[in-house]
Chains A and B, each alone.
Chain A
Amino acid sequence: EPEVTQTPSHQVTQMGQEVILRCVPISNHLYFYWYRQILGQKVEFLVSFYNNEISEKSEIFDDQFSVERPDGSNFTLKIRSTKLEDSAMYFCASTDQTGYAGELFFGEGSRLTVL
């Protein structure tokens, strides 16, 4: 069964460093998402992406965050200058059916630890 894959599974970085989290969505999907989950808290929506542009973003997704689909397969989340509070699990998701069901398929996540 096709699945969303994310790399790295765990990244440790120093505060102030740039981080890029990568996702390979399911191949025929057109809509892509990033979510994050701080330890012990709920899953929070960050951003949705369609047709090479952001379609919606939350208040969390400020100027230090950016997303890109550089090569037609990967979907990346960049955090420009990491802060301690960026430590979280980051989940990528994709779907091809927003017009009807819009079931999202999630990856297993990338754990980011900022020291």
Chain B
Amino acid sequence: DAKTTQPPSMDCAEGRAANLPCNHSTISGNEYVYWYRQIHSQGPQYIIHGLKNNETNEMASLIITEDRKSSTLILPHATLRDTAVYYCIVRVPGYNDMRFGAGTRLTVKP
């Protein structure tokens, strides 16, 4: 029932920007794009979400294409502690629940 497609793994050099892509070509007009991450076996951690506009917070930026069929999560200055599995999820808040796919395993290398 995957509504998103993400690369299984990516590497990034410490201090550089990490750009994690996500395809959601069947997204509907009222679905939001959420990003979570899971460091090792800890509980998933919320990063950011958006509907159609680009969003930025203290953790990351979210760039959503104009047709909303894809998005990119940007970690501007990746650190070793950003090594984690990153999940892109689409859902309608209050209508359906957060369902996780396989995500992208990001490895930040020194």
Contact = CB atoms under 8 A, between A and B. Distances in A.
A100 B50 CA distance: 11
Give the secondary structure class of B's interface: loop
Given A105-B46, A109-B41, A45 B93 contact: no
Contacts of B49: 101, 103
A106 B36 CA distance: 11
B43 A103 contact: no
Chain A CB within 10 A, most for which of B38, B43, B45, B93: B43
Interface string A64-94: 0000000000000000000000000101010
A113 interface: no
A37 B41 contact: yes
Chain A residues touching B, range: 20 to 34
Contacts of A114: none
B100 A44 contact: yes
Nearest to B91: A102
Interface string B78-101: 000000000100010110111111
Contacts of A37: 41
A45 B42 contact: no
A98 B100 contact: no
Interface of B: 32, 34, 38, 41-46, 49, 87, 91, 93-94, 96-103
Q: Which 9 A-B pairs have the closest CB atoms?
A: A106-B43, A102-B93, A98-B94, A43-B100, A103-B46, A106-B44, A91-B43, A99-B94, A108-B43
7 contacts: A42-B103, A43-B87, A91-B44, A102-B93, A104-B44, A108-B43, A109-B42
Given A43-B100, A56-B97, 11 more contacts: A42-B103, A43-B38, A43-B87, A91-B44, A93-B44, A98-B93, A99-B93, A101-B32, A102-B98, A109-B42, A111-B41
